[in-house]
Amino acid sequence: MKFIPSLLFLLSINMLHAQNSSLNLIPQPVEVKQNTGSFTLTKSVTVGFNTPEGLDIAQMLVQKINVATGFGIKAVQGKKATIQLNINAVPDQQLGKEGYTLASTSKGVTITANQTAGLFYGMQTFLQLLPKEIESKNIAKVKWVIPAVKITDYPRFGWRGLMFDVSRHFFTKEDVKSYIDEIARMKFNTFHWHLTDDEGWRIEIKSLPKLTEVGAWRVQRYGRFGDRDFPKPGEKATDGGFYTQDDIREVIKYAAERNITIVPEIDVPGHSMAAIASYPELSCKKDTSTRVSPGSPFSEWFGNGTFKMNIENALNPSDENVYMFLDKVFTEVAALFPGQYIHVGGDECYKGYWAADEGCQALMKKLGIRHVEDLQGYFMNRVEAILKAKGKKLIGWDEILDGGISPEATVMSWRGIKGGIEAARLGHDVVMTPTTFAYLDYTQGERTVDPPIYAGLRLQKCYSFEPVPDGVEAKYILGGQGNLWTEQVPTLRYAQYMTFPRAWALSEVYWSPKESKNWNNFTKRVENQFERSDIEEINYSKAIYDAIVKANLKDGKLKITIESELPDLEIYYTIDDAMPDKFTTKYSQPVELPHGPVTLRVITYRDGKPIGHLITLKREELEKRAGN
């Protein structure tokens, strides 16, 4: 009879889908009961909070409501407002730190939580229940009606993050705040701020001024990252920027008001070209001609996953001055960021310059190390000691396991989930962020439509992610995050395009019960969110509407299979150099292409109207696709 509780839970989840069919909440709450009736927002509405801690959330809610409605509502302390925000006097154990309940009737709305984080997330759900015009920057003339519901909600994971790389392209503090706003709406609570790399050092370190005087700037280049010209002798570095410590404090405060903890990343020992350009003595070769990379091809990657750096970008692990440098950096970083973690990178560190360095060889002999790769373990343990002395915990990419690290270190698994599984089995806390599910810089649709990159990640694949692998104790999996690397992302508008809707999928992966996942239900909510984003003027990708073209080549016959992520799309195609529309051939089964210079053109329709991009693929591209 042990199956009965599971069966009852699954039945309750199915009921949740049925009850929630007309609600468009992302992420999906734990439990929703939709009742008869509705609540209407009017000028006479009041917003109340029962404890002083609720003031900031109440004011945030009032400001949001007033912009779109023009009502001029004010927040007042008390217990009898039409929209009431309450902190529990006795904590509800089920809700934890971030959970909430939301009850709406014809008389009003009550949001209850143990802490302000729960009130904030309850407010986000309340706003999603309102008409999409609540996202307007101007007064909208609509009826502000929400359904009568009772919601109980709390997160599955404590770490729900997004990483934003501001080194490859610099984003202003206002850009960063805007990005934080959008991820907070989807109940993410961690902002991983990638502040340093080969292409720019973005945080002011007052004791080391050259890091921003030199390291924050590079020569201006255009075109694809990795193909750009190297800096020329005497060429001025004018492209870049950095955050002052006051900027950092401002962003930290802004994020904290939205229940987001910022985890700063100082990427070492590799990915340090901007630091070495500023202080060449920190490297093995001490090459004073090293410049901040503008996106030049400074490395060679081989098919087996190994690589070679043609310009040194790793700190020298045998030089005590490097650890003095890092102590200064982390002293100032630790003083700025109140969170418990500092991310130290540890990824993709090329050891070739170490292997050729006399000091590194002497250190290896002293330590009894036979392999140069093991020097990274030594380096990381030194860095961890520095962080511990400042009351911080080390977190790094899964390469920190390679040379050995203390059990107290937290591992971010990015090379698939293998590193996370290994780390969890060794007793490390783990954040799951594998390329295969969570890399938001990957192409999200047809690779001939969007600017190309070396890998793809569709929305449905994001949504299918399960952060707790089989055979791993769930207690070691803190949660997960999505990562937006910005080599090919020059503006905030494009950062939004790459982030959404895939971050919406990940928000549900990290917040909602895994048993509640339902792809078809999720896509309906995504399309509703598209409309809300249009009103808010937030960019997003519509790749979900595009056809998925696959090719198979066997015995000289090229067969084409065309799919869609959405079940209600119709697919039309041509192979006769005509433009496809709803009067051309409708796809129903795999197509064998005739021999010759054939071009396949594909487009999707819904309700008789084109909805996806036109995809045009020549035979050569299809044959290449068949070989991959």
Find where tokens 């987001």 sit.
Answer: 260
Q: For 256-296, what is each residue's pLDDT tens digit?
A: 999 999 999 999 999 999 999 999 999 999 999 999 999 99
Residue pair 272/196 in contact (Cβ under 8 Å)? The answer is yes
List beta partners, residue 263. Answer: 192
Q: What is the mean pLDDT of the chain?
A: 94
Distances (CA, A) of 398 to 157, 411, 414: 20, 6, 7
Rg (CA), the chain: 26
Q: Which of 56, 181, 287, 348 is catalytic?
A: 348
List beta partners, residue 341. Answer: 393
Q: For 161-202, what is each residue's pLDDT tens digit?
A: 999 999 999 999 999 999 999 999 999 999 999 999 999 999
Confidence of residue 21 (pLDDT cuts 50, 70, 90): very low
Omega within 30 of 0 (cis) for the link into 501: yes
Q: How far apart are CA 284 and CA 270, in angstroms?
A: 12
Residue pair 597/580 in contact (Cβ under 8 Å)? The answer is no
Instruction: Tokens for 406, please give them.
Output: 């203390």
Specify the 3-state DSSP secondary structure of 445. coil
Q: What is the pLDDT of residue 22?
A: 66
Q: Which of 197, 312, 441, 450 is catalytic?
A: 197
Q: How far apart are CA 112 and CA 103, in angstroms?
A: 9
Q: Which of 169, 192, 194, 271 is catalytic?
A: 271
Specify the 3-state DSSP secondary structure of 299. strand
Q: How many CA atoms lie within 13 A of 231 on its CB side?
A: 20
The end-to-end CA distance of the chain, in Å, is 48
Task: Name the region of 470 (left: φ>0; alpha: ψ -120 to 50; beta: rest).
Answer: beta
Q: How many CA atoms lie within 13 A of 414 on its CB side?
A: 20
C-alpha torsion sign, points 511, 514, 519, 525: negative
Q: What is the pLDDT of residue 573?
A: 98
DSSP-assigned states of every residue in 232-273: PTT----EE--B-HHHHHHHHHHHHTTT-EEEEEEEESSS-H
Q: For 34-66, what is each residue's pLDDT tens digit?
A: 999 999 999 999 999 999 999 999 999 999 999
Mean pLDDT over 591-607 rounds to 96
Confidence of residue 18 (pLDDT cuts 50, 70, 90): very low
Mean pLDDT over 393-406 rounds to 90
- Where are the chain's structural domains? 3-153, 159-512, 546-627
- CATH number, span 3-153: 3.30.379.10
Confidence of residue 452 (pLDDT cuts 50, 70, 90): confident
For residue 236, is pLDDT > 50? yes
* Angle at the Cα of 541 from the Cα atoms of 481 and 509, rounded to 5 degrees: 30
Q: What is the pLDDT of residue 65?
A: 97
Q: What is the pLDDT of residue 405?
A: 82
Q: How far apart are CA 562 and CA 220, in angstroms?
A: 42
Long-range contacts of 419-428 (CB under 8 A, 24+ apart): 420/469, 420/472, 420/477, 421/469, 421/471, 421/472, 422/398, 423/398, 423/476, 424/472, 424/473, 424/476, 424/477, 425/472, 426/401, 427/476, 428/401, 428/476
Q: How far apart are CA 114 and CA 87, in angstroms?
A: 5
Residue 572's H or E segment, with its range, is strand 570-574
271: annotated active-site residue: yes
Q: What is the pLDDT of residue 515?
A: 94
Mean pLDDT over 441-465 rounds to 95
Mean pLDDT over 541-563 rounds to 95
Question: Looking at this protein, which amino acid is placed at residue 293?
Answer: S
For residue 411, is pLDDT > 70? yes
Residue pair 547/612 in contact (Cβ under 8 Å)? The answer is yes
Specify the 3-state DSSP secondary structure of 149. strand
Q: Compute φ and ψ for 568, nearest 5 degrees.
A: -100, 15
Q: What is the pLDDT of residue 17?
A: 44
Q: For 88-138, what is each residue's pLDDT tens digit?
A: 999 999 999 999 999 999 999 999 999 999 999 999 999 999 999 999 999
Q: Three-state secondary structure along 324-335?
A: HHHHHHHHHHHH
CATH class of 546-627: mainly beta
Q: What is the pLDDT of residue 7?
A: 47
Mean pLDDT over 327-332 rounds to 98
Residue pair 317/375 in contact (Cβ under 8 Å)? The answer is yes
Q: Three-state secondary structure along 380-392?
A: HHHHHHHHHHCCC
197: annotated active-site residue: yes
The sheet with strand 83-87 has its strands ordered as 31-41, 144-153, 100-104, 109-113, 83-87, 47-49, 75-77
Confidence of residue 16 (pLDDT cuts 50, 70, 90): very low
50-74 burial code (b ≥16 CB/10 A, e <16): beeebebbbebbbebbebbbebebe
CATH superfamily of 159-512: Glycosidases (3.20.20.80)
Distances (CA, A) of 174 to 171, 218, 535, 601: 8, 22, 20, 42
Nearest Cα neighbor of 542 from 452, 622, 445 is 445
